[in-house]
Amino acid sequence: MHLGARSLKTGVAVTIALMTALAFGMTPPIMAGVAAAMTTRPSVQRSIRAMVQNIYGNFIGAMIAVAAVIIFGDTPIVVGLTVVFVIAIHLKFRLHRTLTLTMVTVIFVMSSGMNDSNAFFLEGMRRFSMICIGVVSATLVNLLIFPPHYEKTLYEQILEQTTLLFKWTRLLSGGTSDNTKIKSELAAFDSRKLKIENYYHWYKEERVFRKKTMPVKLRRTVIFREMTTATRLLHQALNELDRNENAFRLLPDHFRETLRIQLSGLMTYHERVLLKFDGKIRRKRHEEQAKKDYQHRAELAESFFSYFSKNINDEWLDVLPLLSTIIDYSQHIEHLDLLVTSYQSFHKKSNQIR
């Protein structure tokens, strides 16, 4: 089990919310802690958005709860119908992400047990204030205490995923892989792909408070988007290789070897682009080696059209998705290399992963 910064910040937010509620004499302060625990988000941008939505949604819920008790009372049937009405209102205004906390607020406000309307209204506002204390505490903790930085984690996840994809693609294209093992690895690749996509979205949402660093952040976001796309296409190529392994083995020897060399060269090219972005290899040396690894592209197209014009059968049709994915993969690797080169030309002081 991994105990990360988000878990620790949730505890800190709950503590601050409870202490703040007690300092203002709001008892019991438990709802402030519940609100803080439920609104902690993985990114600062999401925390701010969640804070606004939760305050807005909980205010609507609290007002409806107060009105329902004053007009109809606080019987269990009234509470249940009020919760249903609040859910409908939230779905109408697309506030479904705040529904859980809002329903807790409605029940919390309606359970005060007061008969006097004025006193109940003040008690409802006091309880709503406790919810706001928890929501604001969670946002401030996420903003000020170890604000999340996902760039390094995202890069490491991409590097780990691509390194394993390189290994298994080479084994499978060379006919030396274990079929049982590759099935479990493909499931692990799917899981890591979703994790990479989540980290990318969180990184994209990170706020930049200095105008000077905004172009740098935007350029790096575009580069990471292209990295995730290239990794996804390599994953897709591995899936196609596994799905049509027999058809791949039945290809003519010369064409199959050309395809394997081309794919291997692309993966080597891809690996160096990733290292180049982190400033770990020399740019000139990379460009010289890229020409050698990438020289089989024209040969691959020529071999394909030559053999396909003479041998039209089902095996060739099965391999077409693989060829299409490899061509798409090669184009995105080229584009990624151009993006990295352009970025390093304009931002020479920001060439390493932070």
Digit-coded pLDDT (tens) for 41-70 = 777 777 788 888 888 888 888 889 888 888
Q: In the listed set 95, 119, 144, which residue is the last one of a domain according to the structure?
A: 144
Confidence at residue 193, expressed as pLDDT on a 0 to 100 scale: 92
Q: Two tokens at 305?
A: 């059209």
Q: Read off the pTM.
A: 0.74
Q: Report the 10 Å Cβ neighbour count for 17.
A: 30
8 Å CB contact between 198 and 132: no
Considering the domain architecture, whether residues 126 and 193 belong to the same structural domain is answered as no
Confirm whether 29 is domain-assigned: yes
Considering the domain architecture, whether residues 199 and 337 belong to the same structural domain is answered as yes
How far apart CA 180 and CA 160 sit, in angstroms, is 21
Confirm whether 352 is domain-assigned: no
Q: Two tokens at 11?
A: 């505890």
* Number of structural domains found in the chain: 2
CATH of the domain at 256: 1.20.58
How far apart CA 337 and CA 283 sit, in angstroms, is 11
- Evaluate if residue 235 carries a pLDDT over 90: yes
Least Cα distance to 125 among 198, 83, 67 occurs for 67
Confidence at residue 316, expressed as pLDDT on a 0 to 100 scale: 65
Considering the domain architecture, whether residues 133 and 169 belong to the same structural domain is answered as no
SS (H, E, C) the chain: CCCCHHHHHHHHHHHHHHHHHHHCCCCCCHHHHHHHHHCCCCCHHHHHHHHHHHHHHHHHHHHHHHHHHHHHCCCHHHHHHHHHHHHHHHHHCCCHHHHHHHHHHHHHHHCCCCCCHHHHHHHHHHHHHHHHHHHHHHHHHHHHCCCCCCHHHHHHHHHHHHHHHHHHHHHHHCCCCCHHHHHHHHHHHHHHHHHHHHHHHHHHHCCCCCHHHHHHHHHHHHHHHHHHHHHHHHHHHHHHHHHCHHHHHCCCHHHHHHHHHHHHHHHHHHHHHHHHHCCCCCHHHHHHHHHHHCCCHHHHHHHHHHHHHHCCCHHHHHHHHHHHHHHHHHHHHHHHHHHHHHHHHHCCCCCCCC
- Evaluate if residue 240 carries a pLDDT over 50: yes
Considering the domain architecture, whether residues 334 and 196 belong to the same structural domain is answered as yes
Confidence at residue 106, expressed as pLDDT on a 0 to 100 scale: 86
- Evaluate if residue 151 carries a pLDDT over 70: yes
What would the pLDDT profile of 82-125 be if each residue is shown by its tens digit? Answer: 999 999 988 888 888 888 888 888 888 888 766 677 777 887 78
Considering the domain architecture, whether residues 137 and 211 belong to the same structural domain is answered as no
8 Å CB contact between 273 and 337: yes
* Of residues 283 and 157, more confidently modeled: 157
Confirm whether 114 is domain-assigned: yes
- Evaluate if residue 10 carries a pLDDT over 80: yes
Considering the domain architecture, whether residues 199 and 319 belong to the same structural domain is answered as yes
Residues 6+ away with beta carbon under 8 Å from 195: 157
Considering the domain architecture, whether residues 64 and 176 belong to the same structural domain is answered as no
Considering the domain architecture, whether residues 127 and 254 belong to the same structural domain is answered as no
Question: Nearest 5°: CA angle at 245, between 232 and 197?
Answer: 10
Least Cα distance to 6 among 58, 46, 49, 53 occurs for 46
Confirm whether 215 is domain-assigned: yes
Considering the domain architecture, whether residues 332 and 202 belong to the same structural domain is answered as yes
* Of residues 141 and 44, more confidently modeled: 141
8 Å CB contact between 162 and 269: no
- Evaluate if residue 81 carries a pLDDT over 80: yes
- Evaluate if residue 223 carries a pLDDT over 70: yes
Confirm whether 354 is domain-assigned: no
Q: What is the mean pLDDT of residues 162-168?
A: 92
Least Cα distance to 321 among 237, 225, 232 occurs for 237
Considering the domain architecture, whether residues 130 and 179 belong to the same structural domain is answered as no
Q: Which domain holds residue 196?
A: 151-346
How far apart CA 296 and CA 264 sit, in angstroms, is 10
Considering the domain architecture, whether residues 173 and 116 belong to the same structural domain is answered as no
Confidence at residue 1, expressed as pLDDT on a 0 to 100 scale: 43
How far apart CA 79 and CA 64 sit, in angstroms, is 11
Considering the domain architecture, whether residues 178 and 105 belong to the same structural domain is answered as no
Confirm whether 351 is domain-assigned: no
- Evaluate if residue 293 carries a pLDDT over 70: no
Q: In the listed set 113, 144, 175, which residue is the last one of a domain according to the structure?
A: 144
**215: preceding bond cis by omega (within 30 degrees):** no
Q: In the listed set 144, 167, 187, which residue is the last one of a domain according to the structure?
A: 144
